[in-house]
Structure 1
Amino acid sequence: MTSTDQKARRPTPEALLEQAATEGHGKLKIFLGAAPGVGKTYEMLSSGAQRQKEGIDVVIGIVETHGRAETERLTHGLDSLPRARVSYKGRILEEMDIDAVLARRPSLVLVDELAHTNAPGSRHPKRYQDVEELLDAGIDVYTTLNIQHVESLNDVIAQITRIRVRETVPDSIIDRADEIEVIDITPEELIQRLHEGKVYVRDAAQRALKHYFSPGNLTALRELALRRTAQRVDEQMLSYMRAHAIAGPWATDERLLVCIDGGPASAGIVRYARRAADRLRCTWAAIHVETLGHVPLTEGERDRLDEALRLAETLGGEAVMASGDHVAGAILDYARENNVTQIVLGRPRGDRWFDRFRRTSVDSLIRDAGPIGVHVVPGDEDPSPDKAVRIRATTEGVDAMPYAVSTLTVAVALAIGELIQFVAALPNISLVFLAAILFTAVNYGLWPSLYASLISTLAYNFFFLAPLYTFTITDPANILALIFFTIVAVLTSNLTARTRRQIVVAQSQVKTTTELNSFSRKLAGINDLDDLLWAAAFQIASMLQLRVVFLFPADGHMSVTAGYPPEDVADDADLAAARWAYDHQRAAGRSSDTLPGAKRLFLPIKTATGMLAVVGLDRETPGPLFTADERRLLDALLDQIAVSIERIRLAEDIDNARVLSETERLRSTLLTSISHDLRTPLASIIGSVTSLKTYFDRFDAAQRNDLLSTIEDEAERLNRFVGNLLDITRLESGALNIRMTRVDLTELTETALRRASRLLSTHHVAVSVPSNLPSVMADPILLEQVLFNLLDNAAKYSPAGSTIRIEAASAGKKVLISVLDEGEGIPPEELETIFDKFRRAGSGDNRPAGTGLGLAICRGFVEVFGGTISATSRARGHGSVFTIQLPSTEVVQHQSAEVNH
Structure 2
Amino acid sequence: MSDARRGRLTLYFGAAPGVGKTYAMLEAAQRLRRQGVDIILGAVDTHGRPEVAELLLGLERLPPRTVEVRGKVIEEFHLDAALVRRPALVVVDDLGHVNATGSRHSQRWHDVVDLLAAGVDVMSTLCVQQLESQHDVVQQITSMRVRDPVPDAMFERADHVEFIDPPAKEILARLQDGKVYIPEQDARAAAAMYRKNSLLALRELALRRMSQRTGRENLIYRSAPRLGAGPVSERILVCVDPSPLGPRLIRAAFRMATGLRAEWLALYVETPRLALAGESVRAQVGETLRLAEQLGAEVVHISGARIDREILGFARARGATRLIIGKPMQHRWRDLLRGSLVDALVRGSGDLDVHVIAGDVAPHEVSPVPALRSPLRIAAYFWAALTVASIAATRLLHLPLFYVIVLLLVGISLVGSRLGRGPALGAALLSILAVEFSLRTGPDVNHIDDLQRAAIYLGMLVLALWVSGLTELSRRQAEAARIDERRLTALYLLSRELSQLRSEVDIAECAIRHVKKTMSARTVILLPGHDGELAPMAGTDVELTTDAREEGVARWAFEHGPAGRGTETLKAAQALYLPLTAAGRTIGVLGVAPDDPDKLASPAERQLLDAMTGPVALALQRVRLAEEAQIAEVRAREEELRGSLLSSVSHDLRTPLASITGAASAMMDSGDAIAPETRRDLLQTIYEEAERLGRLVGNLLDMTRLEAGAVALRTDWVALEDPIGSALSRLDRRLAGREVQVTLQPELPLLPLDEVLFEQLILNLLENACKHTPAGSPVRVVARVQAGRVLVEVADRGPGLPAGEEETIFEKFVRGSKANTQGFGLGLAICRAIAAAHGGEITAENRAGGGAVFRISLPIGTPRRNPGPTPRSRR
TM-score bracket, normalised by the shorter chain, equals: 0.5 to 0.7
Cα 1:587–1:352 shift into 2, 3 Å: farther
The answer to whether 1:571 aligns with 2:550 is no
Cα 1:667–1:717 shift into 2, 3 Å: same
Aligned to 2:323: 343
Aligned to 2:222: 222
Deviates more, 1:814-823 or 1:340-349: 814-823
Find 1:880's aligned residue among 849, 852, 874: 852
Find 1:764's aligned residue among 730, 738, 756: 738
Aligned to 2:421: 450
AA matched with 2:826: L
The answer to whether 1:327 aligns with 2:307 is yes
Cα 1:354–1:769 shift into 2, 3 Å: farther
AA matched with 1:286: A
AA matched with 2:486: K
Cα 1:828–1:624 shift into 2, 3 Å: same
Aligned to 1:378: 358
Separation in structure 2 between the aligned mates of residue 563 and residue 387 of structure 1, nearest angstrom: 44
Aligned to 1:310: 290
Match runs of 1:394-473 below 5 Å: 403=377, 406=380, 430=408, 437=415, 440-441=418-419, 449-453=420-424
Find 1:267's aligned residue among 247, 250, 256: 247
Which one has the largest radius of gyration? 2
Percent identity (aligned): 31
Cα shift at 1:414? 8.8
Cα shift at 1:520? 1.4
Given that 1:774 and 1:889 are in contact with CA atoms closer than 8 Å, whether structure 2 keeps it comes out as: no
Structure 1, residues 587-635: CA drift from partner, whole Å, max 9, x if none?
Answer: 3344444444443333333334533223333345566724222232222
Aligned to 2:832: 859
AA matched with 1:610: R
The answer to whether 1:561 aligns with 2:537 is yes
Separation in structure 1 between the aligned mates of residue 775 and residue 695 of structure 2, nearest angstrom: 23
Separation in structure 2 between the aligned mates of residue 422 and residue 632 of structure 1, nearest angstrom: 60
Deviates more, 1:611-620 or 1:476-485: 476-485
Find 1:256's aligned residue among 192, 212, 236: 236
Match runs of 1:664-813 below 5 Å: 664-666=639-641, 718=694, 722=698, 725-726=701-702, 729-730=705-706, 733=709, 737=713, 747=721, 751=725, 754-758=728-732, 760-767=734-741, 769=743, 779=753, 781=755, 785-806=760-781
Separation in structure 2 between the aligned mates of residue 815 and residue 689 of structure 1, nearest angstrom: 47
Cα shift at 1:862? 4.5
Structure 1, residues 836-865: CA drift from partner, whole Å, max 9, x if none?
Answer: 123333699x4323x533322333455567
Cα 1:726–1:284 shift into 2, 3 Å: closer
Cα shift at 1:764? 0.9
AA matched with 2:844: A
Match runs of 1:44-193 below 5 Å: none
Aligned to 1:828: 803
Structure 1, residues 554-611: CA drift from partner, whole Å, max 9, x if none?
Answer: 435433335744436432322333333333x333344444444443333333334533
Deviates more, 1:750-759 or 1:701-710: 701-710
Find 2:608's aligned residue among 616, 633, 637: 633
Aligned to 2:7: none
Cα shift at 1:512? 1.6
Aligned to 1:611: 586
Cα shift at 1:835? 0.6
Aligned to 1:119: none
Separation in structure 2 between the aligned mates of residue 794 and residue 598 of structure 1, nearest angstrom: 73
Separation in structure 2 between the aligned mates of residue 854 and residue 627 of structure 1, nearest angstrom: 69
3-state SS, counterpart of residue 354 of structure 2: strand
Cα 1:854–1:354 shift into 2, 3 Å: farther
Separation in structure 1 between the aligned mates of residue 469 and residue 543 of structure 2, nearest angstrom: 48
Find 1:514's aligned residue among 484, 489, 511: 489
3-state SS, counterpart of residue 360 of structure 2: coil
Cα shift at 1:303? 2.3
Given that 2:329 and 2:366 are in contact with CA atoms closer than 8 Å, whether structure 1 keeps it comes out as: no
Cα 1:812–1:403 shift into 2, 3 Å: same
3-state SS, counterpart of residue 453 of structure 1: helix
Cα 1:328–1:793 shift into 2, 3 Å: same
3-state SS, counterpart of residue 779 of structure 2: strand
Structure 1 segments unaligned to the other structure (5+ residues): 1-154, 161-215, 235-252, 391-396, 442-448, 894-901
Cα shift at 1:527? 1.8
Given that 2:812 and 2:829 are in contact with CA atoms closer than 8 Å, whether structure 1 keeps it comes out as: yes
Aligned to 1:299: 279
Separation in structure 2 between the aligned mates of residue 672 and residue 859 of structure 1, nearest angstrom: 23
Given that 1:409 and 1:436 are in contact with CA atoms closer than 8 Å, whether structure 2 keeps it comes out as: no
Match runs of 1:490-501 below 5 Å: 490-501=465-476
Find 1:848's aligned residue among 808, 814, 822: 822
Cα shift at 1:275? 2.8
Aligned to 2:32: none
3-state SS, counterpart of residue 301 of structure 2: strand
Aligned to 1:580: 556
3-state SS, counterpart of residue 828 of structure 1: coil
AA matched with 2:576: L
AA matched with 1:871: A
Cα shift at 1:833? 1.0
Separation in structure 1 between the aligned mates of residue 156 and residue 636 of structure 2, nearest angstrom: 42
Aligned to 1:115: none
Structure 1, residues 90-146: CA drift from partner, whole Å, max 9, x if none?
Answer: xxxxxxxxxxxxxxxxxxxxxxxxxxxxxxxxxxxxxxxxxxxxxxxxxxxxxxxxx
Cα shift at 1:796? 2.3
Structure 1, residues 330-353: CA drift from partner, whole Å, max 9, x if none?
Answer: 222223333333323222223599
AA matched with 1:835: F
Give the aligned length: 641
Given that 2:798 and 2:851 are in contact with CA atoms closer than 8 Å, whether structure 1 keeps it comes out as: yes
Given that 2:223 and 2:229 are in contact with CA atoms closer than 8 Å, whether structure 1 keeps it comes out as: no
Separation in structure 2 between the aligned mates of residue 317 and residue 823 of structure 1, nearest angstrom: 79
Q: Structure 1 length normalisation: TM-score?
A: 0.58
3-state SS, counterpart of residue 229 of structure 2: helix
Deviates more, 1:414-423 or 1:304-313: 414-423
3-state SS, counterpart of residue 625 of structure 1: helix
Separation in structure 2 between the aligned mates of residue 510 and residue 656 of structure 1, nearest angstrom: 41
Cα 1:367–1:399 shift into 2, 3 Å: closer
Aligned to 2:504: 529
Cα 1:354–1:688 shift into 2, 3 Å: farther
Given that 1:157 and 1:221 are in contact with CA atoms closer than 8 Å, whether structure 2 keeps it comes out as: no
AA matched with 2:546: A
Cα 1:627–1:220 shift into 2, 3 Å: closer
Separation in structure 2 between the aligned mates of residue 657 and residue 715 of structure 1, nearest angstrom: 38
Given that 1:677 and 1:718 are in contact with CA atoms closer than 8 Å, whether structure 2 keeps it comes out as: no
Given that 1:292 and 1:502 are in contact with CA atoms closer than 8 Å, whether structure 2 keeps it comes out as: yes
Cα 1:500–1:779 shift into 2, 3 Å: same
Cα 1:623–1:521 shift into 2, 3 Å: closer
Please report the RMSD computed on the Cα atoms of aligned residues, expressed in angstroms.
5.6
Aligned to 2:84: none
Separation in structure 2 between the aligned mates of residue 815 and residue 544 of structure 1, nearest angstrom: 61
